[in-house]
Amino acid sequence: MKIIPSEGQSFQKVLSEMKSFRKEDANYIDGRTWSLVYHLNEDHTEFLKKAHNLYFSENALNPMAFKSLKRFEHEVVQMTGSLLNAGEDAAGTLTSGGTESCLLPVMAYRELALSKKRFKKIVPEMIVPQSIHVAWSKAAKYFGVKMVNTPLTSEFKMDVEVLKQKINRNTIMIVASAPSYPHGIIDPIEEIGEIAKTNKIPFHVDACVGGFILPFAEQIGYKLPLFDFRVPGVTSMSADIHKYGFAAKGASILIYRNMEYLKHQFFIQQDWPGGVFASPALLGTRPGGPIAAAWAAINALGQKGYQDITLRTMITTKKLLKGINSIEGLAIMGRPHASLFGYCSTDPELNIFAVGDVMDSKGWHIDRLQRPEGLHAMVTPVHENVADQYLYDLKKAVEQVRADPGSGARGNAAMYGMIAKIPFRGMVKKQVMKMMEKMYGPDCEMPMDQPGKEPFSIRAGARVMNWFSRLRRPD
């Protein structure tokens, strides 16, 4: 469909057609996905829909027009601040998701540095571990900040000794994870906080994943390294409530230790003909539904509800970690602190991406990791009912790949493996850009529009493989 229909269709027909489009989507309700969606149960989802739809049309752009939304936002920020030990002076905002909660601190700390008359001719820098979420790379690009990467230790943590060496007069902020997305490991927040405090550099802890599970894990007895505002050097944190807070997408909380930091996030234009304009975060129009649903989720679940959810999640995670480590040829990467982890092959003859392909064929939706190569899982309560089946299928997948050594040279396994090993990363970026142009251009290449064709990812992978094979030919 490329033009608006001349005649409108009935609500029922439109809805029926929309439902039919979902038949090829990933099956998150039955726990077949290990990322993207945080589904608690159908009753909770229906409750969130009702809370969201109560404020479907409201706009939080003007807090004076919809005071109820401002109340929801303020109380969610306060409750989250209490959860993360932010203190009485803490202040923050709700955002549209983790990416916005990563973008805004970069802009705020850049503006803080500029307010001190720094960086008029020098590019400001932010120091991050290599495992930091890719949203921070996006933030660096958007706001003209140079990203300085530090390597990971053998435990997949930020190397604090390298961090000390990277700090210079251009450094405007340090970022670390609690936990990191690829490996589920908390960076050494206490050590980094001391370094940041000594050098008077803002320090942000990205707890987008961990913000609504790590505190409750502590409450039920799990021993974790300090990761929040209890560490003196931490100046801000982000926590996605649409992840383990089990709110509606998209809702994330961004909290600063005090207003002296948050105020640099505000945008104010006093001379616009449309009137004085003030915005606390990135968006202008701020949908009311996600804000209302975030408040509703916290109040409906309560601390006891989150503790129960966390216990179920952590028990399932422990079962999966133990089960994967018991499969010959597989090993967990590092020692994960929370409910997400990566695992790799310890056998040079066992292609981990080929194992992923077999798992895909069995109906599992699994993300791939690179540097080092591996598979990824993010555990939620829905997975407690499928953990045994997952481990059974994974063991069988390993056996199948061992019986077919050539499987690593076919399908997605070949694509992922080759892309991960291409030394010229700029060329990979250029090829992926071409794929994106096709996917989002006027002649969108999507499986649903082209019956009989292979999925986009496979076609795209084939193009990358063909390109790389040409690159390697001596002619």
**In angstroms, rounded to a whole number, what is the distance separating the alpha carbons of residues 30 and 475?**
51
Q: Contact 234/257 with Cβ under 8 angstroms?
A: yes
Count of beta carbons in the 10 Å neighbourhood of residue 63: 16
Per-residue pLDDT, 131: 95
**In angstroms, rounded to a whole number, what is the distance separating the alpha carbons of residues 364 and 344?**
17
The residue behind tokens 């969130």 is 48
* DSSP β-bridge partners for residue 177: 206
Per-residue pLDDT, 411: 60
Task: Please compute the mean of the pLDDT values over residues 229-243 and round it to a whole number.
Answer: 97
Condensed to tens digits (0 to 9), the pLDDT of residues 183-219 reads 999 999 999 999 999 999 999 999 999 999 999 999 9
**In angstroms, rounded to a whole number, what is the distance separating the alpha carbons of residues 230 and 140?**
27
Q: Which of 466, 473, 354 lies closest to 410, judged by CA?
A: 354
**In angstroms, rounded to a whole number, what is the distance separating the alpha carbons of residues 73 and 60?**
9
Domains of the chain in start order, with CATH, are 51-298 (3.40.640.10), 422-472 (no CATH)
* DSSP β-bridge partners for residue 239: 253
Q: Contact 243/294 with Cβ under 8 angstroms?
A: no
Residue 167 has pLDDT above 70, yes or no: yes
Strand bridging mode 146-150 / 125-129: parallel
Q: Which residue has the higher pLDDT, 284 or 346?
A: 346
The residue behind tokens 């996605």 is 240
Task: Please compute the mean of the pLDDT values over residues 57-75 and round it to a whole number.
Answer: 89
Task: Please compute the mean of the pLDDT values over residues 439-445 and round it to a whole number.
Answer: 62
Residue 420 has pLDDT above 90, yes or no: no
CA torsion through residues 448, 452, 455, 461, sign = negative
Per-residue pLDDT, 424: 56
Strand bridging mode 91-95 / 252-256: antiparallel
First-to-last alpha carbon distance for the chain, in angstroms, is: 44
The residue behind tokens 């990135």 is 282
Residue 408 has pLDDT above 80, yes or no: no
Strand bridging mode 252-256 / 203-206: unpaired
Condensed to tens digits (0 to 9), the pLDDT of residues 97-110 reads 999 999 999 999 99
Q: Contact 118/79 with Cβ under 8 angstroms?
A: no
